[in-house]
């Protein structure tokens, strides 16, 4: 089932009352196209003084002008994509998915939130689930997030109350104010060149992992200043707080024997190419939109009966204005790319310094190991004490041979009573040397 309605203006109000799931996408032109796959669903488009009301009893997909203002009540899940106008969501009973939408205000969201590329402010009154938010190009105000929050990059102020845990990656903007509280744990990673005054009012444990303060523990309240302190940040947590510098992806990689400079250069080139592609895509989109506006202008002048000369002058003026807008946009994009390149250079320099410090530490460690090795002696294993030698039994004293006894033996030899051999044996026996 499909229903169509043509608005009088591309900024008209579109009100959505959907009892199933909802998908909304921005489109060129002035037409609102609503479609439901359920054949028995009730799908109605009701004109109003400032726009149209879309009602559907089942799941519904809607195409609207990109600049249209939207209001919605959805009883299922909701997804909004490629919109520039203001988006007011009164109640979403399921999950919410936002991709490339304009300023967004959420009253009550019963499910989880996935949001990326918010082209303006993001304001949430009550979110009962978890939130994963990336790139808010404005301020971010959340009065109550009952689940956990993961936030990456906010271009404006931030006032956040999180009942669960909060994980933040921020590049503080000059003169911006950040007031963030988490009833659970809070981890906040700041850009390497952050310029901000940080006030930590409450924390069970506070750990700083910043340059010159790696792993240092402190007690709340605590405050410090990074850079010139151009922004103000207040952090509080019922649990622990970790305040650290953002870690590039290559720092978390395990060692693999590659050359540092070559690896970093490759990654920097890839990132630069990615940024260039994004800038070019945005420029192409802007050029397409300008060409569309010029085409609509030519058609409008043709219908209104404007003379050819007058129409040509208007068309030339519009082209010049479009050219100036393109130049301004291109200049803005180039400045953004230059800022990114400067940040990459800063990261590279600090990474090189850190690598040099690590290499020096490894050399010192190696020297200490070598020094300890040179002072090591190889001792024999201790031996058990030897048992004492048994005492030598006393030997009988050798008989003392007198001269008289020798004379007797010699006289016997002289009288030939004994032979010479017998005489020697007798003498030996007397002196204890015989057998």
Question: What string of H, E and C letters represents the secondary structure of 58-88?
Answer: CCEEEEEECCCEEEEEECCCEEEECCCCCEE
**Contact (CB, 8 A) for 235 and 244:** no
**CA nearest neighbour of 116 among 163, 75, 150:** 150
Residue 377: pLDDT band (50, 70, 90) is very low
Helix, strand or coil for residue 184?
coil
**Contact (CB, 8 A) for 193 and 346:** yes
pLDDT at 51: 95
10 Å CB burial of residue 323 (0-12, 13-18, 19+) is exposed
Q: How far apart are CA 100 and CA 25, in angstroms?
A: 10
Say if residue 435's pLDDT is above 60. no
Query: Full-prediction pTM beyond 0.85?
Result: no
Residue 402: pLDDT band (50, 70, 90) is low
Residue 351: pLDDT band (50, 70, 90) is low
pLDDT at 283: 63
Say if residue 232's pLDDT is above 70. yes
What contacts 382, CB < 8 A, 6 or more positions away? none
Q: How far is CA 162 from CA 151, 183, 189, 366, in A?
A: 12, 6, 17, 48
Q: What is the mean pLDDT of the chain?
A: 79
Residue 267: pLDDT band (50, 70, 90) is very low
Longest dimension (CA), the chain: 183
Q: How far apart are CA 64 and CA 122, in angstroms?
A: 21
Question: What are the structure tokens assigned to 96, written together?
Answer: 């919410």
Q: How many CB atoms lie within 10 A of CB 88?
A: 16
Q: Which residue has the higher pLDDT, 245 or 94?
A: 94
Residue 181: pLDDT band (50, 70, 90) is very high
Say if residue 345's pLDDT is above 90. no
pLDDT at 314: 74
Say if residue 264's pLDDT is above 70. no
Say if residue 431's pLDDT is above 80. no
Least confident of 65-69, 187-191, 278-282: 278-282
Say if residue 197's pLDDT is above 80. yes
Q: How far apart are CA 145 and CA 96, in angstroms?
A: 14
- The CATH code for residues 2-245 is 2.160.20
> If you average pLDDT over residues 263-268, what whole number do you get?
46
In percent, the amount of the chain with pLDDT more than 70 equals 63
Say if residue 71's pLDDT is above 70. yes
pLDDT at 323: 73
10 Å CB burial of residue 288 (0-12, 13-18, 19+) is exposed
Residue 118: pLDDT band (50, 70, 90) is very high
Question: What are the structure tokens assigned to 426, written together?
Answer: 């007798």
Residue 41: pLDDT band (50, 70, 90) is confident
Say if residue 63's pLDDT is above 80. yes
> If you average pLDDT over residues 193-209, what whole number do you get?
91
pLDDT at 334: 66
pLDDT at 254: 38
**In this structure, what are the phi and psi dihedrals at residue 7, rounded to the nearest 5 degrees?**
-80, 160
**CA nearest neighbour of 108 among 127, 82, 85, 84:** 127
Q: How far apart are CA 411 and CA 111, in angstroms?
A: 139
**In this structure, what are the phi and psi dihedrals at residue 8, rounded to the nearest 5 degrees?**
-80, -15
Residue 418: pLDDT band (50, 70, 90) is confident
Say if residue 401's pLDDT is above 60. no
pLDDT at 303: 59
Residue 69: pLDDT band (50, 70, 90) is very high
Residue 9: pLDDT band (50, 70, 90) is very high
Q: Which residue has the higher pLDDT, 306 or 218?
A: 218
Residue 142: pLDDT band (50, 70, 90) is very high
Summarised one tens digit per residue, pLDDT across range 279-337 is: 566 666 666 666 666 666 666 656 556 666 776 777 777 777 777 767 766 666 666 66
> If you average pLDDT over residues 244-273, what whole number do you get?
47
């Amino acid at each position: 089932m499909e229903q169509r309605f043509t608005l009088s203006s591309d900024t008209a109000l579109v009100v959505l009352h959907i009892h199933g799931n909802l998908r909304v996408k921005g489109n060129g032109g002035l037409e609102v196209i609503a479609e439901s796959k359920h054949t028995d669903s009730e799908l109605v488009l009701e004109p109003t003084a400032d726009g149209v009301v879309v009602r559907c009893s089942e799941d519904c997909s809607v195409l609207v002008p990109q600049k249209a203002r939207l209001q919605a009540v959805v009883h299922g899940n909701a997804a909004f994509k490629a919109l520039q106008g203001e988006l007011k969501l009164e109640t979403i009973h399921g999950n919410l998915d936002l991709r490339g939408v304009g300023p967004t205000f959420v009253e009550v969201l019963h499910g989880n939130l996935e949001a990326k590329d918010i082209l303006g402010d993001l304001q949430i009154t009550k979110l009962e689930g978890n939130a994963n938010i990336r790139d808010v190009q404005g301020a971010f105000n959340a009065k109550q997030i009952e689940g956990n929050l993961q936030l990456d990059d906010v271009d404006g102020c931030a006032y956040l109350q999180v009942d669960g845990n909060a994980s933040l990656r921020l590049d503080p903007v000059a003169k911006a104010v950040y007031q963030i509280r988490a009833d659970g744990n809070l981890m906040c990673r700041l850009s390497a060149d952050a310029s901000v005054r940080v006030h930590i009012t409450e924390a069970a444990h506070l750990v700083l992992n910043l340059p010159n303060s790696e792993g240092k523990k402190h007690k709340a309240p605590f405050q410090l200043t990074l850079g010139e302190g151009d922004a103000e940040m207040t952090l509080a947590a019922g649990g622990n707080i970790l305040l650290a510098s953002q870690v590039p992806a290559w720092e978390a990689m395990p060692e693999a024997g590659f050359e540092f400079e070559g690896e970093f250069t490759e990654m920097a080139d890839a990132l630069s190419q990615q940024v260039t592609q994004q800038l070019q895509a945005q420029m192409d989109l802007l050029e397409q939109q300008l060409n569309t506006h010029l085409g609509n202008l030519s058609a409008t002048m043709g219908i209104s009966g404007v003379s050819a000369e007058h129409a040509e002058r208007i068309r030339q003026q519009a082209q010049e204005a479009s050219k100036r807008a393109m130049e301004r946009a291109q200049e803005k994009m180039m400045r953004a790319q230059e800022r990114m390149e400067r940040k990459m250079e800063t990261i590279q320099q600090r990474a090189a310094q850190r690598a040099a410090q690590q290499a020096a530490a490894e050399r010192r460690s190696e020297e200490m190991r070598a020094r300890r090795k040179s002072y090591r002696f190889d001792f024999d294993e201790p031996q058990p004490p030897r048992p004492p030698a048994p005492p030598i039994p006393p030997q009988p004293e050798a008989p003392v041979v007198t001269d008289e006894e020798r004379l007797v033996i010699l006289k016997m030899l002289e009288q030939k009573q004994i032979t010479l051999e017998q005489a020697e044996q007798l003498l030996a026996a007397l002196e204890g040397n015989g057998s």
